[in-house]
Amino acid sequence: MSEDETLRFPTNLDHAAIVARLVKVRAAAQAAGLPEFAARFEAVEQMAKGQIGAAVIGALGWLQETAEHRALARELEMVAMNLKNL
């Protein structure tokens, strides 16, 4: 992807779709050797709406410091745009 490209994010993800994406983020983080990051989304399937929002925002803040995990950041940015749908 070039610097001039933008991603189109779906803004209509429902609760189930948001949780499914976060489960994928958790698995990707574990596969990337980031167990402490993956732990942010441990049991995301049972988290309350506010807990999910806080986990996503906190994880995005952590990822700002690490450019090598851009794919995780993109996925979380997409989820963040949909938090209103929780």
- Residue boundaries of the structural domains of the chain: 15-85
In this prediction, residue 64 carries a pLDDT of 85
pLDDT in tens, 26-82: 999 999 999 999 999 999 999 999 999 999 999 999 988 777 888 899 999 999 999
Q: Which two tokens stand for residue 80?
A: 């963040």
Answer whether 41's CB lies under 8 Å from 22's CB: yes
In this prediction, residue 48 carries a pLDDT of 97
In this prediction, residue 1 carries a pLDDT of 37
The predicted model scores a pTM of: 0.85
Q: Which two tokens stand for residue 52?
A: 């999910």
Which of the four pLDDT bands, split at 50, 70 and 90, describes residue 5? very low
